[in-house]
Amino acid sequence: MLSYCRNGAAKWTKSTQLLVLPFRRSKSSAPASKLTAAEEDSQNVVGSDVRSSATGGTPFDKLNLEFDSPEEAYKSKSFTEILRALAVFKLCQFDILVNKNKEILKLSRRLLGKRIFNNVMQATFYGHFVAGADQPSIQPMITKLESFGVGAILDYGVEEDIPHSEAVVAEMESCVSEADKKDPDIHNEKFKAYPQFADRRKDVSSARTYFYKDEHKCDQNLQTLLQCVDASGASSENGFAAVKLTALGRPQLLLNLSEVLTKTRNLFVQFAGTLGNLKDRKLTKEQFEAQLQAMGIITRDNSGDWFTWMDYDQDGKIDLLEWEALLQPNHRLHKIFKIPNFKTGKLEPLLISLPAEEETQMKSMLHRINKLAKRAEEKNVRLMIDAEQSYFQPAISRLTIEMMRKFNKKKPVIFNTYQCYLKEAFNNLTVDMTLAKREGFYFGAKLVRGAYMDQERKRASEIGYEDPINPNYDSTDAMYHQCLGYILKKIQSTGGINVMVASHNEDTVRRAVELMNELGIGPKENLVYFGQLLGMCDQVSFPLGQAGYSVYKYVPYGPVEEVLPYLSRRALENRGMLKGVEKERSMLWTEVKRRTAHRS
Ligand SMILES: Cc1cc2nc3c(=O)[nH]c(=O)nc-3n(C[C@H](O)[C@H](O)[C@H](O)COP(=O)(O)OP(=O)(O)OC[C@H]3O[C@@H](n4cnc5c(N)ncnc54)[C@H](O)[C@@H]3O)c2cc1C
């Protein structure tokens, strides 16, 4: 078992220390002949900074936590890029353009023809939100970001724009098992598919959605993700690649696994009670056997030896981690363990055996996930596993933890995502951190608030199960800061942990920076990262990067026509008079005026 200390974690970062300096070196630089005029313009801006650093200028800027300096925010941008950003944010103000953006894009493509349409997109939305079409064309953008201390989380932005009716059919077919058809009542309401919620794109603007077609399509998605890992490895020495596990397998498998995991955990809570933090709750032999007797699973004379099997550390008590270990494939116990179905009143096996074809699909999905993680390890790229809907998330999280167990032994390669809008976020995070510590693997986490709130709420209310989301914004905010505080304190006290604060909320970023300061976690220790999307929130990302913090942009790439759904979602997210967007627009104007005055 590995033992952790902060020095241990820092030791790993030593070899990459250079990379967190504000002016990072990338593996390959862009050939000058491939740069556009705008890129050359911006390279000049980059060049002057790199030179001042190389010749002994101040290596880090002091961080202004108000994030209100246009000069700091847009240092990396050429004048043309600032005007383009302003034009894009202005266009997002027009409701008609935002609401009807898909139709307008399609019509424009038809009227203008491919070449002119692509040029117009390059001069507006595509140029602002997307890095380029492929690895060579995104290189100048990555080099430029790195020269300002900002890393990249590559995200292949291509998504299929299938019609609503097709999405519903695809989802309904891929979320039902042959086994379910015999006994449709076997599943809990939350873990079934419903036609009215089958199009998972509805009410979600900030996340991509994959629909299952067949196993071949999952293999193709794997190839795309492998290329994304390769591109990240080739573009920088310390990159990330973003992955959604719904791209790699049949969603029904994720639904089933999520259900089993949820039932297992609920049963532990039913047995062990609700007092205290979940990670600290313990179940004694007496409690355990009394519950099993009450459920009619065992009798007084025939208690079996289950408790001893499950009590891994033989301390006379079972905690949640020991309890959940019964789901390990090598643990035969899950086959005989039955739990009550409150609807039918019958005892049912915890795991439903899958028909042969679905078992093969499950194996293929695990194989794909494994292949991706292995490639990431080989290419020195970290994998950021995105969080998705709450009825898939227990399975996504569990598979991610399994990957961490295997690939995070020497350094954090795999990062899980925790959505703080979930009521269970703190429990989920702390239980996983305890497991990582106990088993001695590095723990990597990305903290977000969560992208599926409206859809989750509607589904829970219409289908009739408990809303998984915190009751209001303030409780989500409090949950985020509770998780952040806990993880930063653990970084300081035990080490072996890396976290990404993925948020556009300035207050959250400010708190993280202040807490790092209080706890003595230096920006250059490379333990705490910040994450924002390309083309948004530059007033936070660039000052952080310039001040020596590890900050990353989610960098989507892909051919113009194939990233249109992504662009349409970005337009929706930046619409109207949102506070954050208003601030960015006003800062961009101030910078235009400042540079114009400077020139004249
Ligand atoms: C780099 C990066 C990676 C991301 N990865 C993921 C991911 O893997 N999975 C994912 O789900 N999302 C992801 N997101 C999106 C993220 O979850 C948020 O939707 C988005 O960032 C807005 O949250 P914020 O903290 O930036 O801003 P804020 O404006 O402070 O927060 C808005 C968020 O607060 C929550 N909220 C708003 N109103 C309420 C309410 N009434 N009750 C309860 N909660 C409320 C919602 O989650 C909403 O999205 C990512 C975002 C970034 C920047």
Contact 129, 560 (CB under 8 A): no
Q: Partners of 241 in the beta sheet?
A: 154, 383
How sure is the predictor about 14, in pLDDT bands with cuts at 50, 70 and 90?
very low
| 3-class DSSP state of 414 | strand
Q: How far, in Å, is the centroid of ligand 1 from the Cα of 586?
A: 23
Q: Are 415 and 382 in contact (CB under 8 A)?
A: yes
Which pLDDT belongs to residue 188?
Answer: 84
Ligand 1: nearest atom to the Cα of 417: 8
Report whether 444 contacts 487 (CB < 8 A). no
452-458: average pLDDT: 96
Where does the pLDDT of residue 579 fall: very low under 50, low under 70, confident under 90, or very high at 90 and above? low
Residue 420 Cα to ligand 1 midpoint, Å, equals 8
Whether residue 91 has pLDDT greater than 50: yes
Q: How far apart are CA 466 and CA 307, in angstroms?
A: 31
Tell me, in angstroms, the distance from the centre of ligand 1 to residue 379's CA: 30
Of 76-90, 92-106, 284-298, which range is least confident? 92-106
Alpha carbons 122 and 85: distance in angstroms, whole number: 12
**Residue 356 pLDDT:** 75
Instruction: Please tell me the residue having the least CA distance from ligand 1 atom 8.
Output: 386
Distance (angstroms) between ligand 1 centre and the Cα of 451 equals 5
Ligand 1 centroid, distance to 448 Cα (angstroms):
6
Residue 353 binned pLDDT confidence (cut-offs 50, 70, 90): low
Q: Quick one: pLDDT at residue 17?
A: 25
**Which amino acid residue places its CA nearest to atom 44 of ligand 1?**
473
Q: What are phi and psi of 525, to 5 degrees?
A: -70, -15
Which H or E run includes 318?
A: strand 317-319
User: Which range (37-46, 186-195, 360-369, 500-509) has the least confidence?
Assistant: 37-46
Question: Structure tokens of 594?
Answer: 């400042």
Q: How far is the CA of 65 from the centre of ligand 1 (A)?
A: 21
Q: How many A from CA of 153 to the centre of ligand 1?
A: 17
Please report how many Cα atoms fall inside a 13 Å half-sphere around the Cα of residue 457, on the Cβ side: 11
CA dihedral 310, 315, 320, 324 (to 10 degrees): -20
Which residue puts its alpha carbon closest to atom 3 of ligand 1? 502
454-482: burial string, b at 16+ Cβ within 10 Å, e else: ebbeebbeeeeeeebbbeeeeebbebbbe
Q: Please tell me the predicted confidence (pLDDT) of residue 582.
A: 85
- Reported as a single tens digit per residue, the pLDDT across 507-558 is 999 999 999 999 999 998 999 999 999 999 999 999 999 999 999 999 999 9
Q: What is the mean pLDDT of the chain?
A: 82
Q: How does pLDDT run across 253-273, given as a tens digit for each residue?
A: 999 889 888 988 888 888 888
CB 530 within 8 A of CB 552: yes
Q: Find the 419 Cα to ligand 1 centroid distance in Å.
A: 8
Q: Decide if 78 contacts 41 (C-beta within 8 A).
A: yes
Residue 119 has pLDDT above 80, yes or no: yes
336, pLDDT greater than 50: no
The neighbour count for residue 508, using CB atoms within 10 Å, is 21
Most confident of 134-143, 299-308, 445-454: 445-454
Reading the block at residue 354, the tokens are: 């899958």
Which tens digit of pLDDT belongs to each residue from 152-163? 999 987 777 888
pLDDT tens-digit map of 408-442: 999 999 999 999 999 999 999 999 999 999 999 99
Sequence-distant contacts of 532-537: CB under 8 A, at least 24 apart: 532/502, 532/503, 532/504, 533/129, 533/504, 533/570, 534/129, 534/130, 534/131, 535/85, 535/88, 535/128, 535/129, 535/570, 536/504, 536/570, 536/573, 536/574, 536/580, 536/584, 537/504, 537/580, 537/584
Residue 341 has pLDDT above 50, yes or no: yes
pLDDT score at 167: 92
* Main-chain phi, psi angles of 313, to 5 degrees: -90, 5
In this predicted structure, what is the pLDDT of residue 332?
47
Name which residue sits closest to atom 36 of ligand 1, judged by CA. 473
Nearest atom of ligand 1 to the alpha carbon of 242 = 8
How far is residue 71's CA from residue 588's CA, in Å, rounded to a whole number? 9
pTM of the predicted model as reported, rounded to 2 decimal places: 0.86
Q: Say if CB 77 and CB 150 are below 8 A apart.
A: no
Closest residue to atom 2 of ligand 1, CA basis:
502
Which amino acid is residue 155, in one-letter code? D
Q: Residue 537 CA: which ligand 1 atom is closest?
A: 53
Interval 140-184: pLDDT, tens: 999 999 999 999 999 987 777 888 999 999 998 888 877 666 666
**Whether the predicted pLDDT of 66 surpasses 50:** yes
Pairing of strands 550-557, 414-419: unpaired
Hey, how many other C-beta atoms are within 10 angstroms of the C-beta on 447? Answer: 24
SS3 state at 432: helix
Nearest CA to ligand 1 atom 45: 473
Phi and psi torsions of 343, nearest 5°: -75, -45
In whole angstroms, give the CA distance from residue 314 to residue 265: 21
Q: How many helices (H) and strands (E) does the chain have?
A: 25, 12
pLDDT the model gives residue 302: 62
If one compares 118 and 374, the residue with the highest pLDDT of the two is 374
Q: How far away, in angstroms, is 469 Cα from ligand 1 center?
A: 12
Residue whose CA is at the smallest distance from ligand 1 atom 53:
532
Going 304 to 307 to 311 to 315, the CA torsion angle's sign is negative
The first and second tokens of residue 456, run together, are 């989750």
Ligand 1 atom at minimal distance to the Cα of residue 480: 25
Residue nearest to atom 28 of ligand 1 (CA): 505
Q: Give the per-residue pLDDT at 298.
A: 65
Cβ contact 140:34 at 8 Å? yes
Q: Which of 429, 366, 377, 433 is nearest to 241 (CA)?
A: 377
Q: Whose alpha carbon is nearest atom 32 of ligand 1?
A: 449
Ligand 1 neighbours (beta carbon < 6 A): 206-207, 386-387, 417, 419, 421, 448-453, 469-470, 472-473, 476, 502-505, 508, 531-533, 554
What whole-number percentage of the chain has pLDDT above 90? 53
- Is 18 a residue whose pLDDT tops 60? no
Q: Compute, in angstroms, the gap from residue 470 CA to the centroid of ligand 1.
A: 13
What atom of ligand 1 comes closest to residue 552's alpha carbon?
1
> Residue of the nearest CA to atom 39 in ligand 1?
473
| Closest atom of ligand 1 to CA, residue 500 | 1
421 Cα: distance to centroid of ligand 1 (angstroms): 8
Coil, helix or strand at residue 198: coil
- Higher pLDDT residue, 339 or 484? 484
pLDDT of residue 329: 54
pLDDT tens for each residue of 23-58 = 333 333 333 333 333 443 443 343 333 323 333 344
Site to substitute for ligand 1 among 155, 206, 449, most atoms within 8 A of C-beta: 449
Report the separation in Å between the CA atom of 446 and the middle of ligand 1, taken as the mean of its atom positions: 12
pLDDT at 218 over 80: yes
Q: What pLDDT score does 24 carry?
A: 35
What is the rounded average pLDDT of the residues 133-145? 92
How far is residue 102's CA from residue 524's CA, in Å, rounded to a whole number? 43
- Ligand 1 nearest-atom number relative to CA 470: 43
Among 448, 473, 550, residue to substitute to test ligand 1 (most atoms within 8 Å of Cβ): 448
Q: What percent of the chain has pLDDT over 70?
A: 80
